[in-house]
Structure 1
């Protein structure tokens, strides 16, 4: 190039290590790798398939116990479809069958993931340092499927001496735009590169990456691959569809204390959209939801209801002390930053001219109303909003209709207080479903 030195361009090499024997329990992986690849150099990254780590560590068991092994390795079921289970395992990884694998192992056995993949990576790194005097990074890899994408890829499940994440937040791109969400999974990218040369069935469980010494050692390597696991707080996709529904139902609580944080009106509308999918008789839509988004509307309604309630209690002969105590129970509505009044409408109902059948007709609509409110409460829980369904509007429907200027045919079916819970809800006592069942 006319004597000019060509500008150095970034590049790296990756190759599979040849000549490794079949790994057995008790083998020293570092010595096996050092013997097969004695020319390792400082700054190399050694990628080791988790299966050979598991074999060396004796993480093998009879295949007849595969389902029991999956159960033992599972912390939480994320999703289930037929016999396939996506679970969170004891290493914190979300994957199929907890990583229990029947491939690349003798017939009649299965492999479990290493007990502590980061510790395994540290042991291999220290062993290579002792055997060859080199400072390398080590990544223990495993094969993962991914949400929204077909196909499998290798990712890092254990690491030592290598940066697993590259946090670019706070920097700028080539055009000067600020980077606010870019964190690169370096260990996963290295693992995937190694898998291209190792292959899934070629008997080459170790690969080496050379040319990226800036990823080895230094700051950011101490946390190991555990740093790649997303925390529950930041995980928007912790559950499969059916599991998410069950979790939302289980997490719904009656909340009686709220913070001052405003309620997202869009979240309430999404919950209403879920509510109106409830079943109803005769293809009707018997639900109406009145949203009290202004403080003025809430205070005006609650003051009118309070006056009507006190008048009823006095007619019942209750003492002023008893009245004051009962009225305080309604404070949950007054303290909530958002109120919703579900109303039942009987449009589309049948009239038989028979008290028994007409009564049953209304009961069907009331049941549909309850189903709609339950949908609403569960959907609010899914939006991380607390709620309390209070029946008080049912006892002064005329007052509610007048204050809110509602049609005569709208029957208020309680009021729902909505807001952000002021604290964690108390644990619900366990209920055994069998005690509620009768089988014929």
Structure 2
């Protein structure tokens, strides 16, 4: 098979309203099965997507539906077509000062219209790929990718085939349109003034129908393991963390909990200590024994209080049902090994508080990490009211102080949307 990639030279500067198909048709000679690869800049110019904007950031805001990652002034965002790219594709290069160029409003529609026009003018069977320049998450350097297509299957699915050694291919799906875009960019270049290339020799890829365009190239959110930048993922996990009080019966992956514990123990602590221990209740029998013993101890304590009849006690102890209904429990414990011994009660109390704060920071890390693993959680304080009982049932050392219990599991329903809290309401500046 012979493959040629040919630049289409001699195209004039494209202005708004230009008949782009006619310009391209006149600039070259085409054959059946040719694939025309067209940089999005000239498509945008022909469609009047040039914007007079002194503030490029405002133009990026207008084109953005979701910020994926941000570092300094650089933003990786998703635009309304689902494309994840730097600055939403808003480009200030190759345009007059004080203007920016936006991507085509619907690149697939642009590719379909351009293909139809070119086929009418040339009488040839053609495909069209509209491209733009992207960075890549794991590699340096830029390359062109397809953002619009017509007359071409943008993906080639090799799954179910065998390789040259007879091995079954189970994962391989080739991004054909992106490969064409990158190959064409070798003759188009970034500053050569050649915005169109012809890829010749792959006529078998050209389809009679326009096809689905580039939509199949956009990974669905549910399958995107890298949907957010690091800091954005952390902020979203913190924002999405909710107290979950109803769980499904799906078992919890113990490895996921251990990963969450690994995040928990990065919390700050006084005197270079490690004042946390996490007791993982993976046995249903152990959970039941603990909760039954805690319930009995709680009832005994409440009966000693004035005005607490059995009905009131039942209502109060029912709050612990979230622990009983969860498929997994974690009991975080505070260990004050390494604390300083102060004879002054005030300093001794402060020392204890320092360690308690560290325990709280560790539990917060745990809860956020569990959210990142897809689990819901509820931090319930009940073990703090019967620490001796908990230590006895779980056979814990005397110096381990249970700091509540964390129920873990898949949420049975979507948490209610919580209104955003204005941080300024909690800030005092001196």
* TM-score using structure 1 length: 0.95
Cα RMSD after superposing both structures: 1.2
- Spell out the pairing of 1:155-304 with structure 2 (5 A cutoff): 155-217=145-207, 222-304=211-293
Q: 2:402 is matched with which residue: 409, 412, 432?
A: 412
Partner of residue 79, structure 2: 89
In the aligned structure 2, how far is the partner of 1:299 from the partner of 1:213?
68
Whether the 8 Å contact between 2:53 and 2:59 is mirrored in structure 1 is no
Whether the 8 Å contact between 1:122 and 1:159 is mirrored in structure 2 is yes
Q: CA deviation at 1:297?
A: 0.9
Q: Which moved more, 1:99-108 or 1:179-188?
A: 99-108
Deviations 1:320-377 (A, max 9, x none): 2222222222111111111000000111111110111111111111111100000000
Q: How many residues align?
A: 429
1:430 maps onto 2:420 in alignment: yes
In the aligned structure 2, how far is the partner of 1:301 from the partner of 1:214?
68
Partner of residue 6, structure 2: 15
In the aligned structure 2, how far is the partner of 1:261 from the partner of 1:403?
26
Q: CA deviation at 1:239?
A: 1.2
- Spell out the pairing of 1:23-62 with structure 2 (5 A cutoff): 23-37=14-28, 39-62=29-52
Q: CA deviation at 1:63?
A: 4.3
Gaps (5+ residues) in structure 1?
A: 1-9
Whether the 8 Å contact between 1:55 and 1:111 is mirrored in structure 2 is yes
* TM-score using structure 2 length: 0.98
Whether the 8 Å contact between 1:79 and 1:87 is mirrored in structure 2 is yes
In the aligned structure 1, how far is the partner of 2:251 from the partner of 2:368?
19
Q: CA deviation at 1:131?
A: 1.1
- SS at structure 2 position matched to 1:209: strand
Structure 1 pair 11–319 and aligned structure 2 pair: CA distance change class (3 A): farther
In the aligned structure 1, how far is the partner of 2:386 from the partner of 2:208?
70
Gaps (5+ residues) in structure 2?
A: none
Partner of residue 343, structure 2: 353
Whether the 8 Å contact between 1:258 and 1:336 is mirrored in structure 2 is yes
- SS at structure 2 position matched to 1:21: coil
Whether the 8 Å contact between 2:302 and 2:313 is mirrored in structure 1 is yes
Whether the 8 Å contact between 1:63 and 1:102 is mirrored in structure 2 is no
Runs (4+) of structure 1 exceeding 4 A deviation are: none
1:375 maps onto 2:365 in alignment: yes
- SS at structure 1 position matched to 2:249: coil
